[in-house]
Chains A and B, each alone.
Chain A
Amino acid sequence: MSDITANLAYESHSIAHHGPRLRISEKIALTAMGIGSMLLALSLIAVNGSTSETLKNLWFNISWALAIGGGGYFALSKHLKDRPGVRNQGKTTDSLTARGAWGWMLGIVFTGFYIIIYWFPQYLEGLTRLHDGLSQFLQGKPADEWFVYGTVYTILTTLMGAKAIAKYRHNRYHIVRTSVIIFAQLIFAYLFPAICVKFNQPEVYLTYFWPLAYDKLFPSTVMHLFHSGGLGYFIAGWFICGTFLATPVLTYYFGKRWYCSWVCGCGGLANTMGDSWRQLSDKSLKSWKIERWSIYSVLALIFSLTVLLWCEPYLPASMKEIVYQIRRFYLFGIGAVFSGVIGVGFYPLMGTRMWCRFGCPMAAFLGLLQRFNSRFRITTNGAQCISCGNCSKYCEMGIDVRHYAQRGQNIIRASCVGCGICATVCPRGVLSLENGPTNNRYNHEEGLSLLGKMKSR
């Protein structure tokens, strides 16, 4: 077909965008962030057990102040200098957000960080010692690498949460939701457990439930709590109710989102630090197929393991060995490699919710409840959809939202975490997250033009 001159340039070439130039103040902020980060990195080799308290504290304060101050200013300024509104321009062309060189580099840095913290924590010694002061203050003991991890995680959630609020400040759903995410992380997943340790209580993370926190309902944990007296009873009760009472009830009324995009720290990091990469999730049918196999396998695995552990006293010795092996595999394969290395490490390459979508057993459990017993759905507004594709593109869970919207169908998918971005980016006001009666929740009879089922026709 030689007469066809049109070659689809956009399929093969990237386009140079010329966003607004950096302001002087932004350049200064970036410099501060760079120096702060370099100082933090430098501590890895320059700080050790014999470094004086004064130097460590000074180092800690200066480096974090520069990193947070500079990073925070830059992140906020980027959005606040724009008028409020949907701003996704350049997402598919910028190196950082479109799997360009910056994206790859950052993906490798993130992944590398997880590999080091899981398997080579000794290399983090310098950075860990840097955090001794803060750790002493909060937990009453020197820092370990997981305290550093928690600190970095919380700072990123808070800082990038502020950025997300600035970006979506025209939309109150995101302001409220993101604020709650930051609060949950800061208070329940960081300060509260630290303070527990300080007062010689068990280190509890009140916002993580079985089966995501897989050991929360292991017999060893429950028994330990029961044996540690009054508070222990409360905490054990909290986790049992969390899984078996709060989860089905809240999911019935609000959908899975009450947890996945309002409370959970994994979702929290995805929706704050990871927001710029949400569009990278794979939308193909094939990935949906893989998702269903993998996520329900993990759920089945952790369910079986938990049951087996409770039955352990009655199992023959040979079985006990098998249970031990399953447990080992789960802790390593799912708990570490999947949720950490792939889950967060691959943010800039495969999108932000790899773990939530393909691995998290809590998401699987919540998803089943949402799919079959919930009032939640995303409603499609009549026949207003123009099939533009923004909803699908910016769905972090890889749901082809447009597939439903252009057919006038409600969107009820087990994986939907109810982040609300599809409704936000829709330029025609087609989508809305709603809780309502369960009858007629699926409106799946398709009138192609949608008007087939509307009253006028």
Chain B
Amino acid sequence: MSERHIVILGNGITGITAARTLRKRSNHRITVVSGETEHHFSRTALMYIFMGDMRYEDTKPYPDDFWAKNRIDLKRGWVHSIDSQQKQLLFKNGESLKYDTLILATGSKPNRFGWPGEDLEGVQGLYSYQDLEMMERNAKGAKRAVLVGGGLIGVEVAEMLLTRNIQVTFLVREKTFWGSVLPIGESAMINREIQAHGVDLRLETGLKEILSDGEGRVRAIQTLSGEEIACEMVFLTAGVSPQIEMVKASGIECDRGILVDRFLKTSVPDIWAGGDCAQHREAPEGRRPVEQVWYTGKIQGERLAANICGDLAEYDPGIWFNSAKFFDIEYQTYGWVMPKLKEGEKSFYWEHPEGNKSVRINFEEKLGAVLGVNVFGIRHRHQVWEQWILEKKTIHEVLTHLGAANFDPEFYSQYEIEIISAFNLLYPDQPVELKTKKGLFSKFFAKILK
């Protein structure tokens, strides 16, 4: 295959994974374009920069000389438009860059729902490096912030602001935090955790408008119920949406995101897209068409690079998994655990009496096959759960070997016995007995690894 110039727009996890995969598989000339930062950094670590756990340079997953060593050119600049006829990028400063193949990995931007006052100074989201810089400026002298929208970014922003002694009021429209994703048990646990850290959590509270101080800065917000809350900062943390204005204007077919087929091709030849900005015309089973998750960006970057190199295959994200941390409570999930049970599904939930650890396993009512797990405050093994879900192990089999999934540090209390006792109380017909305790390469795990 002749060597081509492959230009990647966006140096987030998708773009960079594509670049690395292309380099491993080919000798194509590779250029990564970004206006945001010179080098790839871990977006998920923005909060640690603000809190002083890490410096910006610590969040770069690869050393600066990595790119030259791997012959990946970096180009800093904001793109104004894509000229797909001439196959070139036109930059805002008038420069241009020719490509043979273009990968769009432009990421997201914080959602704005047209709230009155959302463009005032002091109102912002948190996604990009520039957002973080803005947050740094806005935080100067701020005493109180209001966060609008309960999700993962909201919790992170709350944690960040508290380290600067800024009071946080957190408006969540739902009855309970992240209620569209978490079942009530887990969600209630996180409500408590958020409050325990001193956040003023307002459930079932929406934003009506953001009020100006008369000089273009935020002075307060007003909730739907009419209450006015004075604040110097407002964070719009109700999710993100694909950053596609420029792409759309350049004539590439878009809906909410850049439309791609199962091979991650866009409507224009030689232009591919992946990651946060992409919208799958046919989403993989059970998945949303736009899925803004770190690892799916990674897989898509890898997949589309392989496809460009001729190793054509459909995008397949595999069994769903994810993780997060809500203040001090870690969360991992494998498979599907929906907030509301579907027909024919059952759910087993165990919560530690202290209310900061829990395990929920959802399973099919008839056959007992496990569908997914939520673990809070306990770490579980990815490979083990993936295997269990793929092989449709029954809830009884899984509980019998539950120790094989335990990934907690040494000397930690193990709760498998308590969990199983709780299960046996609910289902006394076929009591489960724990056979596999925690420990690497307990028989079960050794089998999987071999």
Contacts and interface: CB of A to CB of B under 8 A. Distances in A.
Interface in A425-456: 427-429, 432-437, 440, 448-449, 451-452, 454-456
B92 interface: yes
B440 A379 contact: yes
Given A382-B382, A433-B410, A448-B17, A6 B37 contact: yes
B446 A437 contact: yes
B165 A4 contact: no
Interface in B1-33: 13, 17, 20-21, 24
Contacts of A436: 440-441
A22 interface: no
Interface stretch (A83-91, A115-123, A205-213, A230-238): A83-91
Contact-size category for B:
35 or more
Interface in A361-401: 379, 381-384, 386-390, 392-393
Contacts of A313: none
Contacts of B330: 427-429
A8 B316 CA distance: 36
Contacts of A83: 196-197, 328
Residue of A379, A382, A452 contacting most chain B CB atoms (<10 Å)? A382
Given A9-B136, A92-B52, A449 B36 contact: no
B386 to A, nearest CB: 6
Given A2-B93, A92-B54, A455-B386, A389 B17 contact: no
Contacts of A4: 35, 76-78
Interface string B317-351: 11101011101101010000000000000000000
B5 to A, nearest CB: 20
A85 B56 contact: no
Given A4-B35, A93-B52, A94-B52, A388 B44 contact: yes
A354 B230 CA distance: 51
Contacts of A89: 51-53, 163
Nearest to B442: A436
Interface string B379-416: 11111001100100000000000000001111111000
Nearest to B55: A92
Contact of B61 (A406, A437, A440, A449): A406
Interface stretch (B101-109, B205-213, B243-251, B292-300): B292-300
A89 B332 CA distance: 24
A289 interface: no
A15 B136 contact: yes
B164 interface: yes
A387 B409 contact: no
A453 B414 CA distance: 29
Interface in B141-182: 163-165
Nearest to A405: B61
Contacts of B36: 6
A356 B326 CA distance: 36
Contact-size category for A:
35 or more
Residue of B38, B324, B327, B328 contacting most chain A CB atoms (<10 Å)? B328
B386 A8 contact: no
Interface stretch (A39-47, A165-173, A265-273, A329-337): A165-173
B54 A454 contact: no
B382 A383 contact: yes
A454 B53 contact: no
Given A6-B36, A433-B409, A456 B390 contact: yes
B316 to A, nearest CB: 7
Contacts of A90: 51-52, 163
Given A2-B93, A17-B163, A387 B440 contact: no
B186 interface: no
A10 B56 contact: yes
A439 to B, nearest CB: 8
A14 to B, nearest CB: 9
B57 interface: yes
B411 A173 contact: yes
A387 B54 contact: no
Nearest to B382: A382
B310 interface: no
B70 interface: no
Given A6-B133, A86-B328, A389-B59, 12 more contacts: A3-B77, A9-B136, A11-B57, A83-B328, A384-B321, A386-B45, A387-B45, A389-B45, A393-B54, A434-B440, A454-B383, A455-B386
Interface of B: 13, 17, 20-21, 24, 35-38, 42, 44-45, 48-61, 63, 76-78, 91-93, 129-130, 132-133, 136, 163-165, 196-197, 294-295, 298-299, 301-302, 316-319, 321, 323-325, 327-328, 330, 332, 379-383, 386-387, 390, 407-413, 440-441, 446, 448-450
23 contacts: A3-B93, A4-B76, A10-B49, A17-B163, A18-B165, A84-B328, A173-B410, A379-B407, A379-B440, A383-B295, A383-B321, A384-B295, A388-B42, A388-B48, A428-B323, A429-B380, A429-B407, A448-B302, A449-B301, A454-B386, A456-B316, A457-B316, A457-B318
